[in-house]
Each structure stands twice: as structure tokens, then as C-alpha cells.
């Protein structure tokens, strides 16, 4: 679908020369981005590239309907810029991040607060949106909260048991991943990419590998691409199973909670069968896959996969049959499709609102160019919908794996990576199990990474959780949180 746009189009997983990225004066750049967002396109990434004392803004847009990405940049400027958030909510966190990382002020940004860094006392201290009134009370949860989970701060404004407003403050896990990549890739970079979000190792590692391969002007061998796709779906299976179990656990429905906990371990062990590590560490590398599976190993994988899929089928059947579970899930944590589109929601959470967006479908790369997974969508936007989408994805990933394991491509799995092209920009999108993982790599004149931007799907989706809690009972918060199941460290980097 050819459409008139001033942006340069780019396919997922490819690179272009920095000079070829269209450049406009700041105001025109922002107008162009706004125009595209106004047409319904999505902002995949929006960040700053420092040039001496000044800053350049870069926008990567996803034209889902056109199956293409679009890039553009502004000229250098300093001081401040008119905030896009004023007219397009999707940009809000990106602009706060730009302010925090580079110091330029987005003017008229409705809620300019740091994203990850604190100002001395920690992200939980500071201004929070407050509601005043005689029967209003404020509940603060975190950073150390419920059970074994990453840290985050949740500030509720409640009238009795009803939540009027929820504000989420993250940043507790800021480890300085982006800062460390500059001048790289270094010896530790690939290991850091694997642990950006530790449960999305394959997702982030594949995006990193794709970005570097694009910059080197090469592609991983087909067998490696196939292996990556297998590992990605195994990761999806493990996490979605865990989520169904956790959702059951949060409503204290013990049969499914116990069963899914075990089956998740089984799926993790399938990934470990491939590479030794339950989370897929040490498998995906720029240039291919470090480890391979022979016929024996792959057939064992296939057999164990069948058993695990049958078990999760039964565990999920108990979940859907229980009326007490359905009353908890239905109409809880409701998010409208319009809200979801406005904030740029991605992943199963977006698909559960009826939005058809999936990187494997809209921007296929790697093995997904040859083998399709149907997109799993459910219209309602409540906890039930999000659970249902996960269930559909489990089934479809299972089918995909069965199909792929029955048709193994030949070839090597690793090739050496040529040097990275200098002054080039590459974008790699991967549909991680939470949603769209976006890595944007920019090399300098020396062929080293000058700027590396990581956008985890949680960066888009935390706002969705905050919106979904409005008007809900505060005791439903853990259930809603679990139904989104977002990454704290993927957001914090």
C-alpha cells in the first residue's frame, strides 16, 4: 500500500545510512510525526541522539497496515521543544525519557516527571497526582511488594475500596543498560541484552542480533532463523502458561494455579534442552545461534512438547469451566480499544482490546517471513480477554511448533558477523511474549554503536494498567496487574 509520507520507509530488520534518514527542522519534524500519529500510525520509538551540546530527535513509526516502518529525524537543537504529548498521548513516556536523558524540556507536557532516575530519595518520593476529599485515602504499594516480584511503586487514590486513579512510578531497577552500550558492542553487551528483561531473553537477544546483522549487511543462516523462531515460541509458551497459573493463583483457584506452575517449568526445561539455560541464555548471537539441535534432540523436544501442551490444555479447561473464576475475570480491569490505541498499547494486552497488532504479522522478519502464526484477538478488554488471548496464543504457538519441528531446515546455524557499517541506522522489531520489542541501533563513523535505543513492550503498556484500574476495586489490582504482567526491569533498563 503506497502512501504519501515524508518519512523514509524501512523494513523490519534492515538498515539504512544515517544520511538517508530524512531530516527536518524541529517544528516541521514534530508536525510530520504528529500527522502520522493522527492518521492512526504507531510510535515504536522516539528518542534523542546527542550531537555535541545539541540534540537530534529520531522517530521510528510503525505503519502496521502498510507492513513497514518509517524513520525520520530532526535537526539539532537545544533547550526545549513543543511536546507531542499535548496532542498525541502515545508520546508521553518517550518525551519524559528524552527530558531525563538529555535535559531538553518538552513544553506543555502535562505530567513531566522523571522516568527512571530519582532525585535523591528514590522514585517513590515526589509529586503524585492527588485527589482530595473527606473520604479519599491514598494507598502506597511498593517498591517491595507482594511476594516474589520485581520492584515498582503504585500510588492509589481511593474512595473506600474503589480506585479513582492509579499512578505507577518505576525506575527502581535502573542498571544503566543503554549507557553501557555506547562505544560498543563490548564483551559484555550481548549478555546484557539477554538480561534486559530476564524472562524475554530470546526476544531481546533476537532484536539485538537482527539489528547488528542489519548493520553488517548480512542475515543469519536460515536454520538459525528457524531456531530463533522456535526458541521465541517456547518462551511465549512458558510465560503464557505461567501467567494463566498466576491469574488462577490470584483468584485462589488452586487446581489451575498448581498445574500451570509445574507446566511452566516443563516449558522452561524445553528451552533448556536446546541450550542448557531455562531462559534461553547463550543461544541467540549476532550471526546466528550458538547451539544447534540434532535430530535426536529435536525429536525429544517434540515429544515433551506434546505432553506439556496436553497438560496445559487440561489445566486451562478447569479454569474456563469454573464459574467462580469467570465472575472474577469478566468485567474486571476494563480497557477500551480507543484508550488502548491512544496510548499505543502493544502485545496481548492490545489484542485483548480487539486491536489487531502483532509484529510477526505486521512486520515479519526472520523465519516469520516463511511461516505465519495467526493473530490472537479478543474484543472485550477485560482480564478475561487478556487471559483468553494468552490461551489462544498458547494453542497457536503449539501448532506452530509442531509444524516447524516436523519440517527442519538444513544448514549451519552460525556465521561470522562482518564489520558494522559506519553511520548507519538499523531497526529491529520482535514480537516478544509481552508485545513489541524495538531495538534501534545507530553507528558512528568508526562503526561502533554510537546510540542504542531499547523499547520494551512494557514501556508502552504500563500506562494501560494505570488506566485499566480506574473505577475498579483496589483488591482487584493484583489480578489486573497479573493480567498485564509487564516487565519492570525492561522498562527501567
Q: How far is CA 402 from CA 232, 264, 266, 271, 399, in A?
A: 14, 18, 16, 15, 5
From 107, 161, 403, 412, residue interacting with other proteins (rule: CB under 8 A) = 161
Site membership for other proteins, residue 265 (CB under 8 A): yes
Site membership for other proteins, residue 488 (CB under 8 A): yes
What distance in Å separates the CA atoms of residue 385 and residue 392, rounded to the nearest whole number?
10
On whether the CB atoms of residues 99 and 105 are closer than 8 A, the answer is yes
Between 3 and 326, name the residue whose CB sits nearer to other proteins.
Answer: 326
Site membership for other proteins, residue 316 (CB under 8 A): no
Stretch that binds other proteins, among 41-49, 96-104, 251-259, 451-459 (CB under 8 A): 251-259
Cα Rg, the chain, nearest whole Å: 22
Tell me the number of residues near other proteins by CB under 8 A. Answer: 88
What distance in Å separates the CA atoms of residue 301 and residue 257, rounded to the nearest whole number?
24
From 183, 191, 338, 446, residue interacting with other proteins (rule: CB under 8 A) = 191
From 19, 121, 407, 445, residue interacting with other proteins (rule: CB under 8 A) = 121
Q: Dig out the grid coordinates for 249 from the structure.
A: 493463583
Residue 310: how many CB atoms within 10 A of its CB?
12
From 132, 134, 187, 406, residue interacting with other proteins (rule: CB under 8 A) = 187
Min dist CB 212 to other proteins, Å, is 16
What distance in Å separates the CA atoms of residue 56 and residue 148, rounded to the nearest whole number?
40
Site for other proteins in 391-430 (CB under 8 A): none
From 60, 168, 230, 325, residue interacting with other proteins (rule: CB under 8 A) = 325
Site membership for other proteins, residue 269 (CB under 8 A): yes
Site membership for other proteins, residue 431 (CB under 8 A): no
Site membership for other proteins, residue 358 (CB under 8 A): no
Between 102 and 174, name the residue whose CB sits nearer to other proteins.
Answer: 174
Query: In the sheet where 136-141 sits, what is the strand order?
Result: 136-141, 153-159, 162-169
Site membership for other proteins, residue 272 (CB under 8 A): yes
Site membership for other proteins, residue 180 (CB under 8 A): yes
Per-residue contact flags (x/-) with other proteins for residues 128 to 157, judged by CB under 8 A: ---------xxxxx-xxxxxxxxx------
Site for other proteins in 216-245 (CB under 8 A): 242
Residue listed under C-alpha cell 515433551: 304
On whether the CB atoms of residues 29 and 51 are closer than 8 A, the answer is no
What distance in Å separates the CA atoms of residue 68 and residue 86, rounded to the nearest whole number?
26
Q: Nearest-CA neighbor of 93 among 470, 360, 466? A: 466
Phi and psi torsions of 142, nearest 5°: 95, 175
Site membership for other proteins, residue 1 (CB under 8 A): no
Q: Dig out the grid coordinates for 299 from the structure.
A: 525429536
Between 269 and 372, name the residue whose CB sits nearer to other proteins.
Answer: 269
On whether the CB atoms of residues 276 and 269 are closer than 8 A, the answer is no
Site membership for other proteins, residue 107 (CB under 8 A): no
From 35, 65, 188, 310, residue interacting with other proteins (rule: CB under 8 A) = 188
Please name the helix (run of DSSP H) or strand (run of DSSP E) that holds residue 162, with its range, or none: strand 162-169
What distance in Å separates the CA atoms of residue 28 and residue 407, rounded to the nearest whole number?
50
Stretch that binds other proteins, among 76-84, 327-335, 389-397, 403-411 (CB under 8 A): 327-335
From 24, 77, 318, 361, residue interacting with other proteins (rule: CB under 8 A) = 318
Site membership for other proteins, residue 123 (CB under 8 A): yes
Site membership for other proteins, residue 459 (CB under 8 A): no
Between 221 and 242, name the residue whose CB sits nearer to other proteins.
Answer: 242
Min dist CB 138 to other proteins, Å, is 8
Site membership for other proteins, residue 454 (CB under 8 A): no
Q: How many Å separate Cα 282 from the centre of its chain? A: 21
Between 233 and 292, name the residue whose CB sits nearer to other proteins.
Answer: 292
DSSP code of 3? -
From 11, 76, 173, 415, residue interacting with other proteins (rule: CB under 8 A) = 173
Site membership for other proteins, residue 122 (CB under 8 A): yes
On whether the CB atoms of residues 10 and 16 are closer than 8 A, the answer is yes
Site membership for other proteins, residue 201 (CB under 8 A): yes
What distance in Å separates the CA atoms of residue 317 and residue 440, rounded to the nearest whole number?
41
From 71, 91, 216, 251, residue interacting with other proteins (rule: CB under 8 A) = 251
What SS3 class is residue 285? strand
Stretch that binds other proteins, among 114-122, 349-357, 443-451, 455-463 (CB under 8 A): 114-122
**DSSP, residue by residue, 227-256:** HHHHHHHHHHHHHHHHHHHHHHHHTT-HHH
Site membership for other proteins, residue 387 (CB under 8 A): no
From 50, 82, 184, 261, residue interacting with other proteins (rule: CB under 8 A) = 261
Site membership for other proteins, residue 258 (CB under 8 A): yes
What SS3 class is residue 339? helix
Number of continuous H segments (helices) and E segments (strands) in the chain: 16, 16
Beta bridge partners of 136: 159
Amino acid at each position: 500500500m503506497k502512501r504519501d509520507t515524508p518519512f523514509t520507509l524501512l523494513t523490519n530488520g534492515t538498515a539504512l545510512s544515517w544520511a538517508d534518514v530524512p531530516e527536518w527542522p524541529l517544528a516541521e519534524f514534530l508536525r510530520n510525526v504528529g500527522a502520522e500519529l493522527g492518521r492512526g500510525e504507531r510510535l515504536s520509538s522516539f528518542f534523542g541522539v546527542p550531537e555535541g551540546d545539541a540534540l537530534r530527535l529520531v522517530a521510528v513509526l510503525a505503519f502496521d497496515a502498510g507492513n513497514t516502518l518509517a524513520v525520520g529525524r530532526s535537526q539539532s537543537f537545544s533547550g526545549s521543544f513543543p511536546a507531542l504529548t499535548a496532542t498525541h498521548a502515545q508520546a508521553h513516556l518517550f518525551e519524559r525519557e528524552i527530558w531525563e536523558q538529555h535535559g531538553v524540556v518538552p513544553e506543555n507536557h502535562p505530567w513531566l516527571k522523571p522516568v527512571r532516575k530519582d532525585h535523591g530519595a528514590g522514585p517513590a518520593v515526589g509529586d503524585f497526582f492527588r485527589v482530595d476529599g473527606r473520604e479519599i485515602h491514598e494507598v502506597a504499594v511498593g517498591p517491595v511488594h507482594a511476594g516474589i516480584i520485581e520492584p515498582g511503586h503504585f500510588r492509589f487514590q481511593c474512595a473506600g475500596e474503589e480506585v479513582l486513579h492509579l499512578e505507577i512510578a518505576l525506575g527502581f531497577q535502573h542498571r544503566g543498560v543503554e549507557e553501557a552500550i555506547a562505544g560498543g558492542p563490548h564483551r559484555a553487551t550481548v549478555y546484557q541484552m539477554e538480561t534486559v528483561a530476564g524472562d524475554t531473553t530470546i526476544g531481546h537477544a533476537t532484536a539485538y542480533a537482527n539489528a547488528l546483522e542489519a548493520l553488517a549487511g548480512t542475515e543469519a543462516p536460515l536454520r538459525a532463523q528457524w531456531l530463533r523462531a522456535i526458541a521465541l515460541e517456547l518462551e511465549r509458551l512458558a510465560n503464557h502458561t505461567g501467567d494463566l497459573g498466576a491469574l488462577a493463583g490470584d483468584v485462589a483457584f488452586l487446581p489451575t494455579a498448581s498445574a500451570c506452575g509445574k507446566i511452566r517449568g516443563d516449558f522452561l526445561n524445553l528451552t533448556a534442552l536446546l541450550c542448557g539455560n531455562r531462559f534461553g541464555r547463550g543461544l541467540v548471537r549476532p550471526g546466528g545461534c550458538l547451539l544447534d539441535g540434532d535430530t535426536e534432540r529435536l525429536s525429544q523436544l517434540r515429544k515433551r512438547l506434546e505432553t506439556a501442551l496436553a497438560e496445559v490444555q487440561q489445566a486451562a479447561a478447569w479454569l474456563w469451566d469454573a464459574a467462580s473464576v469467570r465472575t472474577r475475570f469478566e468485567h474486571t480491569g476494563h480497557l477500551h480499544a480507543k484508550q488502548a490505541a491512544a496510548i499505543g498499547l502493544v502485545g496481548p494486552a492490545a489484542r485483548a482490546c480487539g486491536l489487531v497488532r502483532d509484529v510477526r504479522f505486521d512486520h515479519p522478519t526472520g523465519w516469520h517471513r516463511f511461516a505465519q502464526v495467526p493473530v490472537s484477538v479478543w474484543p472485550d478488554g477485560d482480564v478475561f480477554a487478556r487471559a483468553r488471548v494468552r490461551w489462544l496464543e498458547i494453542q497457536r504457538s503449539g501448532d506452530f511448533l509442531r509444524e516447524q519441528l516436523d519440517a527442519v531446515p538444513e544448514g549451519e546455524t552460525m556465521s561470522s558477523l562482518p564489520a558494522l557499517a559506519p553511520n548507519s541506522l538499523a531497526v529491529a522489531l520482535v514480537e516478544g511474549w509481552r508485545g513489541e520489542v524495538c531495538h534501534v541501533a545507530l553507528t558512528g563513523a568508526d562503526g561502533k554503536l554510537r546510540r542504542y535505543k531499547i523499547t520494551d513492550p512494557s514501556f508502552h503498556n504500563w500506562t494501560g494498567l494505570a488506566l485499566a484500574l480506574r473505577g475498579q476495586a483496589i483488591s482487584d489490582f493484583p489480578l489486573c496487574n497479573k493480567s498485564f504482567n509487564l516487565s519492570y526491569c525492561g522498562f527501567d533498563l
